Amino acid sequence: MSAARYAVFGQPIAHSQSPRIHAAFGEAEGIAVDYRAIEATPAAFAAALEAFAADGGVGANVTLPHKEAAFALCATRTSRAQRAGAVNTLLRKGQAWHGDNTDGAGLVRDLTARHGLDLRGRRVLLLGAGGAARGVAPALLDAGILELVVANRTPERADALVDAMGEPGRALSAYWDALREQGDFELIINATAAGRGDGAGFSLPLSLVNSLTTAVDLNYGEAAIPFLAWARAAACRNSFDGLGMLVEQAAESFQQWHGVRPRTDDVYAALRARDALLVTAD
């Protein structure tokens, strides 16, 4: 029988810091960890996941573009995964997968514990309505924000996410092309791939920003550069990438798999020191 294995699935996946993070967690906690990155196309994801399980895979993280597909492949799910309609953490139970979503918990912990933000009473603009956005939306509402406005270039996707939240009047959708009509926000979160790798940059109305605005990209590394450049040009008070969220959601996954929640500050600091360009949640 193969040794217990763990992995992160995505496309692309070569950039992923998850193997390094889980190796560091394991070393700090004295736990041997076999964790690797597996690239799979959307069409091949289900088969790749089953092959992984057959080869001793007992736990996995899931990143773009597979989070909603992973949700559909789970036999059981946590309440937060059910509410999000997306899964980023898998645990093998018997012959089936159990799904959770640790993205939202990771983002809220990063923003509040690491960066000292008080999310209560804030108006929040969430850009995007895919798996990453679905993962963080419920946790933001639970953290006490005043209002969540979701904007997506395909309006129907934003409407579906808002409907899934079940909080009419507090979770709202907006047309991307009419964002300048939405007023300003204390928190703007990019959960899209807009501007990634196309050289086109990232553009939003400056009217979205006020003197307290924090801008957060759920991407990290080069993928976060366009949005963070816009945030600096717009004079946002703070701007962060998704590396901290990545580390915190990984710690949540690690705890589910190994029974202990690792400390995260040293791992986060080491990743920052290793590469100053690390600036999305896996």
Considering the chain, what is the average pLDDT of its residues? 93
CATH 3.40.50.10860 fits 5-103+244-274, yes or no: yes
Q: Cβ-count burial of 156 within 10 angstroms (0-12 exposed, 13-18 middle, 19+ buried)? A: exposed
Would you state the pLDDT for residue 221?
87
Report d(CA 229, CA 234) in Å as an integer. 9
Rounded to two decimals, the pTM is 0.93
> DSSP code of 241?
-
> What digits encode the pLDDT tens for the residues 157-214?
999 999 999 999 999 999 999 999 999 999 999 999 875 555 457 899 999 999 999 9
5-103+244-274 and 115-242 in the same fold: yes
Indicate the annotated binding residues: 16-18, 63, 88, 103, 128-132, 152-157, 218, 220, 242, 249
Numbered residues of the known binding site for shikimate:
16-18, 63, 88, 103, 220, 249
Closest CA to 86 of 22, 165, 27, 23: 165
Q: What is the topology classification, in CATH, of domain 115-242?
A: Rossmann fold (3.40.50)
pLDDT digits (tens, 9 = 90+) for 125-155: 999 999 999 999 999 999 999 999 999 999 9
Decide if 168 contacts 141 (C-beta within 8 A): no
67 a catalytic residue: yes
Confidence of residue 1 (pLDDT cuts 50, 70, 90): very low
Annotated binding site for NADP(+): which residue ranges?
Answer: 128-132, 152-157, 218, 242
What are the residue ranges spanned by the domains of the chain?
Answer: 5-103+244-274, 115-242
- What pLDDT score does 278 carry? 41
Q: From the candidates 67, 109, 122, 123, which is the catalytic residue?
A: 67
Least confident of 7-21, 196-210, 215-229: 196-210
Does pLDDT of 267 surpass 50? yes
